[in-house]
Amino acid sequence: MSVAIFDSGLGGLTVWQAVTRRLPDLKVSYYGDNANAPYGTRTADDVHALTVAAVTKMWETDDLVVLACNTASAAALRRMQEAGVPPGKRVLGVFVPLIEALTERNWGDNSPPREVAVNQVALFATPATVASRAFQRELAFRAIGVDVEAQACGGVVDAIEDGDMILADALVKSHVDALKRKMPKPDAAILGCTHYPLVAESFQAALGPDVTVFSQADIVAESLADYLSRRPEMAEGGQARMVTTGDPVRVSSRATQFLRRPITFEAA
């Protein structure tokens, strides 16, 4: 059995790093579909097709795949699960752990939706994730009385993938300003893209110290640790591979820059 993290590009490395830090003995692979990144401006059908193709390829060597991509989780996860997955394989998304943390309710709690501690929530995500309304739909199963204002953060992923953090910071400020014109005083903010932890400080600075910012990497890592504690057979064996559909040299350079540690990718 083995575990792999999937993302359209480099953003999922924030989850990969958190998982390897939380579970240092776990062999965790990473698959970046950099040749087709970003997913956030594609149609839902395009994202679904790309995600299915990537995960099917990953299942050849890995048994549990985590979609560390909110766009893929929004557009593809439910359709993949409803279509059925091969015996012994699993695919998980990143929305559920985030909503568990936001509502302080375990996903296995099937009691009716109830009021939670936050009422005004800002959601920052890619245009495709915002258009899917998947976060609002899943949240509605758990909580009532929560007003979610979504802001499509065009350009941020591209800037991060290009290594232009000055542009990324400027875009974050612009998107936060746009959100505040619609929701002046959010209680909490969701960074609904796994690229965004790389500019989490920019989001927090623009939002102000009174806004609780939920970033997915550590939340997903803790949720995966809990999942594997109940299914220890899925954490045995395997090998850690870093794979990309893009240029391995360029992707390795960008990954090393982001994580500030040597990262070497191989071609898919």
Rounded-to-integer distance, Cα 87 and Cα 13, Å: 27
153 included as an active-site residue: no
Out of 4, 26, 69, 220, pick the active-site residue.
69
Rounded-to-integer distance, Cα 19 and Cα 24, Å: 8
Q: Could you say which DSSP state residue 112 is in?
A: P
Out of 148, 179, 193, 219, pick the active-site residue.
193
For residue 143, give Cα distances in angstroms to 52, 109, 149, 199: 30, 12, 15, 28
Q: Which of 99, 35, 31, 37 is nearest to 67 (CA)?
A: 31
193 included as an active-site residue: yes
CB 140 within 8 Å of CB 180: no
Catalytic residues: 69, 193
